[in-house]
Amino acid sequence: MAQDINSPKYTIGVIGTGTMGRGIAQIAVTGGFRVKMFDAQEGAADQAREFITRMVSRAAEKGQMSEADAAAANDRLQIVGSLAEMADCGMVIEAIVENLDVKRAVFGELEGIVAEETILASNTSSLSVTQIAAGCAKPERVAGFHFFNPVPLLKVVEVVAGEVTAPWVVDKLDAIARKCGHEPVRTQDTPGFLVNHAGRGLYTEGVRILAEGIAEAHQVDDVLREGGANFRMGPFELMDTTGLDVSGVVMESIYEQFYQEQRFKPQAFIRNRMAAGLLGRKAGRGFYTYEDNKKVAPAEPAAPADLPDSVWIGPEGHASTKILAAFLKDKVEIETGAKPSARAICMVAPMGRDATMTAIDLGIEAERTVAVDTLFGLDGRRTLMTTSVTDEGVRDLAHGLLASDGGAVTVIHDSPGFIAQRVIATIVNISCEIAQMRIATPGDINKAVRLGLAYPQGPLEFGDTLGPAKIHGILTAMHAFYGDPRYRPSPWLTRRARLGISLMTPEA
């Protein structure tokens, strides 16, 4: 019979006492569990215990727990000298090197030591849980238990079911996670599991925009931070923080593991930057340069001072056009005729389309046309997009007008979907496909991304906030322009957009 996790004797074994192992051990002892730690490297477990004891004691000093509770938590931590001493553990979690053969060997040894009902869990972030379990005599008791760094602060853990993992195992891991103060999210055993899978859109669409020459890296980051989406960091800041040697490898790995699914396709320049050592903050150079470990951002160019005499806005009657017209009201004379006068500059607000094709379809001159992204309104940073032939004077007049109230403006080259539209739509679409494939529930998708990636909203929440039909329209327009399957809408999104229902709506 499986042990009761509420018993004061319930013991969790932790193998590997590096950053992840010690973090897992820390939340386990503060959650009330006894913990046995083992590390094959001499002295590593003792160093981990000293670190954990210090962190727990510091929590008491900050008033986050009582002195008595801190002392009890530290007393529950034990160092063992061999795997044989984990015989009484109700669960053992390994946090060792990301090597399939090594993990299988450790679990194989444990099977001869622990009880039949003991759970064997892996903190792997990149290996298949099913393949790890395949080396065990009882693969049904093996699961993934993937935490994020730093473990005590990122309060989410992926509970990963392999192909033959028993339901009681994931149920118990769910309960253990909650007792440790973490939010569990359940996911099937697929490349990237849930968090890294759902997070692909921000990275892959960001690098696609850069590869296409639409905008510079800092412009993409600025728009996604300040343009209404409210990301804490843009994709290039994130890659510089984690290190391109990590982010680049993950991009390529997930793309290949999904048999070159186009939604996850990386770009060739990433590998070149890795080869050049442009790895980010730790190298002093990445997409940004760093001085004293601080990012040096390019200076914001001053907005032009001149303003246009009048502006024609089209197409008339569209919701995005109305947003633009409301913003420009009282700032400039707005023309409302079917066609612009000779003295007007033309401003359009397409969704999923580029400025050039919008101008052609409206029968207006591309040379005096610019486009403005209204996806998140115009309260934050604004994105101004030129056609392939926009006159520089027209561009500068439009820039000055959009910045006339002191707001920041990012000027980019022509692109179906600007920056924010195409990135957000890609993020939403990938998560819709995760829901469609039954990898995780809509609620767990949102929770995992909010807690694991610190997005301002979960991806399906983003879609519902902006409107599933709008997201579907952006993707459909991009797919039609590029002919690239990366932009094909997920069936989950298509059906809910057509039905006019929330992306959170489960299948009947």
Closest C-alpha to 394, from 365, 357, 363: 365
Tell me phi and psi for residue 119, to 5 degrees: -80, 135
Closest C-alpha to 125, from 269, 257, 231: 257
Helix or strand or coil: residue 486? Answer: helix
pLDDT in tens, the chain (508 residues): 578 998 989 999 999 999 999 999 999 999 999 999 999 999 999 999 999 999 999 999 999 999 999 999 999 999 999 999 999 999 999 999 999 999 999 999 999 999 999 999 999 998 999 999 999 999 999 999 999 999 999 999 999 999 999 999 999 999 999 999 999 999 999 999 999 999 999 999 999 999 999 999 999 999 999 999 999 999 999 999 999 999 999 999 999 999 999 999 999 999 999 999 999 999 999 999 999 999 998 999 999 999 999 999 987 778 999 999 999 999 999 997 889 999 999 999 999 999 999 999 999 999 999 999 999 999 999 999 999 999 999 999 999 999 999 999 999 999 999 999 999 999 999 999 999 999 999 999 999 999 999 999 999 999 999 999 999 999 999 999 999 999 999 999 999 999 999 999 999 8
* The token pair that represents 65 in the structure block: 């727990």
The residue assigned the tokens 């999210």 is: 185
CA–CA dist 158, 12 (Å, integer): 17
Query: Assign residue 207 a region: left if phi > 0, alpha if psi is -120 to 50, beta otherwise?
Result: alpha
Sign of CA dihedral 456, 461, 462, 467: negative
CA–CA dist 348, 359 (Å, integer): 8
- For the chain, domain boundaries: 11-189, 197-296, 310-407
Sign of CA dihedral 447, 449, 454, 457: negative
Show which residues are catalytic: 125, 146, 158, 196
pLDDT of residue 1: 57
* The token pair that represents 273 in the structure block: 């930057």
* The token pair that represents 197 in the structure block: 């899978």
CA–CA dist 482, 495 (Å, integer): 23
Which residues on adjacent β-strands are paired with residue 296? Answer: 289
58 CB-contact burial (10 Å; exposed 0-12 / middle 13-18 / buried 19+): exposed
CA–CA dist 56, 202 (Å, integer): 35
The string of DSSP codes covering 249-292 is: HHHHHHHHHTTS-GGG---HHHHHHHHTT--BGGGTBSSSEEET
CATH of domain 11-189: 3.40.50.720
Is the CB of residue 33 less than 8 Å from the CB of residue 10?
A: yes
pLDDT of residue 51: 97
Angle 220-222-350 from CA coordinates, rounded to 5°: 60
Quick one: how many helices (H) and strands (E) in the chain? 20, 16
Sheet strands side by side (includes 369-372) = 333-335, 310-314, 345-348, 369-372, 382-386, 409-412
pTM above 0.85, yes or no: yes
pLDDT of residue 317: 74
Which fold, 197-296? N-(1-d-carboxylethyl)-l-norvaline Dehydrogenase; domain 2 (1.10.1040)
Tell me phi and psi for residue 112, to 5 degrees: -85, 0
How many other C-beta atoms are found inside a 10 Å radius of the C-beta of residue 113? 17
pLDDT of residue 283: 96
